[in-house]
Amino acid sequence: MAEAPALIEAKDLALELPDMTARRGLGPRPLARILHPVSLTVRRGEIVGIVGESGSGKSSLGRTLLRLYRPTGGRLAFDGTDITHASEAELRPFRRRMQMVFQDPQSSLNPRHRIRTIVGAGLDLAPGAARGREDALVAALEEVGLEPALLDRFPHELSGGQRQRVGIARAIATRPEFVLADEIVSGLDVSTQAQVLTLLKTLARDRRLALAFISHDLSVIRNLCDRVVVMRAGRIVEEGACATLFAQPATPYTRQLLDAIPSPAPDPGWLTRGAVPPASTAIVR
């Protein structure tokens, strides 16, 4: 594949946040180092997987790419513009061009709003919002494979997969160029998951959408993404094309993650094979 232009370019991004785990004393909270310098590029039409164990910094990286967090080091560019330290006002024109789909459609969709209102909220941000609103709503639903009749339902009247697709419809209604999906298929059954993965692939291909896909499920990443970065303790420990990285992981950490995936073919030795990870971390500081 010819190199598409980079849409998101992160160079040596670092992130420190006020440490929520520190005991509250006098004065400001001490800072916790969340991301050590991390570099990552997402091109138009490309799906980049971000994988790693819980607490490795996947969501923090994703939120920094969307400039929901302000990096404390390095450089972040969106479509060639440096937005590392852009103010909220300066970010406004970019907000519509980047969107996020959340993990839990149950809690991220307002239960008191009809699907029409939920998806419409995305449209209101889009240029020329009022014109052809109904058409745009129907189109947004059709694009994610939902019946327009669902517009008048409430979230609890939909299945998990339908709710997740409403979340995607809301995100893509503004016709963004970059979408961050954070654990959006965990908890879905495999058939629904397959529908959502197919939809994401189509959006990347047909719309040239740049997609960052966070997941701790390596099997899903393998079958969705073009490239993958493996995170551990706030760092990227390995990255590469999916096909090569999964066939020949370079680090023991990635190997360990792959070995921990249960395969749907019974393997009597699997459960007892491999080291028990060190259990010295029972208590979260």
Partner 1 sequence: MTDPLLAIDGLSARLRKPLLRPLLRSVSLDVKAGEVHGLVGESGAGKSTIGKAVLGILPRAIEICGGAIHFAGEDLLRLPHRRLDAILGDEIALIPQDPMTALNPSRRIGDQLTDGLRLKRGMRGAALHARAVELLADVQIPEPEAVLKRYPHEISGGMRQRILIAAAFSLDPKLILADEPTTALDVTVQKEVLRLIRRMQAAHGTGVVFVTHDLGVVAQICDRLTVLYGGMVVEQGETATILASPAHAYTRALLAATPRHDQAGSGTTPIPPAVTAALATEVACYGMGPAAHG
Ligand X SMILES: Nc1ncnc2c1ncn2[C@@H]1O[C@H](COP(=O)(O)OP(=O)(O)OP(=O)(O)O)[C@@H](O)[C@H]1O
The residues binding ligand X (CB under 6 A) are: 17-21, 32, 34, 52, 54-60, 189, 216
Q: Which of residues 12-41 bind partner 1 (CB under 8 A)?
A: none
Site for partner 1 in 52-111 (CB under 8 A): 53-55
**How near is the Cβ of 284 to partner 1 at its closest, in Å?**
6
Name the 3-class secondary structure at 182: strand
Based on the shown chain and the rule CB under 5 A, indicate whether residue 59 belongs to the binding site for Mg ion. Answer: yes
Partner that binds at residue 191, options partner 1, ligand X, Mg ion, none, CB closer than 5 to 8 Å by kind: partner 1
Q: Which of 120, 144, 276 is nearest to 206 (CA)?
A: 144
Choose the contact partner of 57 out of Mg ion, ligand X, partner 1, none; CB within 5 to 8 A by kind.
ligand X
Given Mg ion, partner 1, ligand X, none, residue 60, with its beta carbon under 5 to 8 Å by kind, binds ligand X
Region at 187 (left for phi over 0; alpha for psi -120 to 50; beta for the rest): left
Instruction: Provide the token pair at 155.
Output: 């979230």
Q: Decide if residue 237 touches partner 1 (CB under 8 A).
A: no
- Interface characters, 111-140, with partner 1 (x: CB under 8 A): ------------------------------
3-state secondary structure of 3: coil
At its nearest, how many Å lie between Mg ion and the CB of residue 7?
Answer: 22
Q: What are phi and psi of 4, to 5 degrees?
A: -80, 160
Among 224, 229, 231, 236, binds partner 1 (CB under 8 A): 224
Closest distance to partner 1 from the beta carbon of 116 (Å): 24
Q: Is 266 in the site for partner 1 (CB under 8 A)?
A: yes
State the Rg of the chain over Cα. Answer: 20
Smallest distance from partner 1 to CB 235, Å: 17
113 makes contact, choosing from partner 1, Mg ion, ligand X, none, with CB < 5 to 8 Å by partner type, with: none
End-to-end Cα spacing for the chain:
46
**Which residues 6+ apart lie within 8 Å of 104 measured at CB?**
187
Handedness of CA 151, 152, 156, 157 (dihedral sign): negative
Number of residues that bind partner 1 (CB under 8 A): 53
Least Cβ distance, residue 99 to Mg ion (angstroms):
17
User: Which residue, 159 or 198, has its beta carbon nearer to ligand X?
Assistant: 159
Asked if 118 and 110 count as a contact pair (C-beta separation under 8 A), the reply is: yes
Which strands sit side by side in the sheet containing 73-78, from one edge to the other? Answer: 31-43, 6-18, 73-78, 81-82
Cα–Cα distance measured from residue 263 to residue 249, given in angstroms and rounded to the nearest whole number: 18
Find the residue with minimal CB distance to Mg ion: 59
Q: Let me know: does 179 contact 207? Beta carbons within 8 Å.
A: no
**∠ Cα 88 29 280 (to 5°):** 115
Per-residue interface string for the shown chain with partner 1, residues 158-197, x marking contact by CB under 8 A? -xxx------------------------xxxxxxxxxx-x
The binding site for Mg ion (CB under 5 A) comprises: 59
